[in-house]
Structure 1
Amino acid sequence: MNSDSNNLSNSRSNNTSSQANNQAFNANNQKEQDSFVKLAMRNMVKKGSTSLFHFFLTVFGVIGALLGLAIIFH
């Protein structure tokens, strides 16, 4: 009887550890399949207004640099 209960507890612990390994593998596999665009969008949604501020700052910076070069080399 004792060996049966040990086998049962070992099989349960092996089953839960294999499920945990499968979930970890699936999570890692999902992360590997995500594209850079998808990761960037997820990050942008998480950070919210900070990302929008940096985006618009970059846009205005590029436009300002192009206008500045156009004025200088006109």
Structure 2
Amino acid sequence: MNSQTTQKPEPTAAKPSYVKLAMRNMVQKGGTSVQHFALTAIALLVVLVGLAYLTR
């Protein structure tokens, strides 16, 4: 009799995608994520308008 038993690897659940993890994190943090997103959007607009003004 063979003393080694062959075990089938258990099927692992698929890892959640990066987007799904980011959405879950954003929901958990609540208003902080929305505030950071708004600040980033405003900063990007300021940079783009500033560059447009400088290179007119």
Fold-level match, TM-score > 0.5? yes
Instruction: Please give the TM-score of this superposition, normalised by the length of structure 1.
Output: 0.57
What displacement does 1:60 show? Answer: 0.5
Moved over 4 A (4+): none
- TM-score of the two chains, using structure 2 as the length reference: 0.74
Q: Which residue of 2 aligns with 1:21?
A: none
Structure (1/2) with the larger helix percentage: 1
Larger Rg: 1
> For 1:46, what is the secondary structure of its paired residue?
helix
> How much has 1:33 moved relative to structure 2?
1.6
1:20 paired residue number: none
Percent identical residues: 47
Gaps of 5+ in 1: 1-24
Alignment pair present for 1:49 and 2:17: no
Give SS of 1:60's match: helix
Q: Give 1:42 shift.
A: 0.2
Residue correspondences, number: 47
2:32 aligned with 1:39, yes or no?
A: no
* Runs of 5+ unmatched residues, structure 2: 1-9
Q: Match for residue 8 of structure 1?
A: none
How far apart in 2 are the matches of 1:65 and 1:35?
A: 31
Which structure is higher in RCO with an 8 Å CA cutoff and minimum separation 6?
2
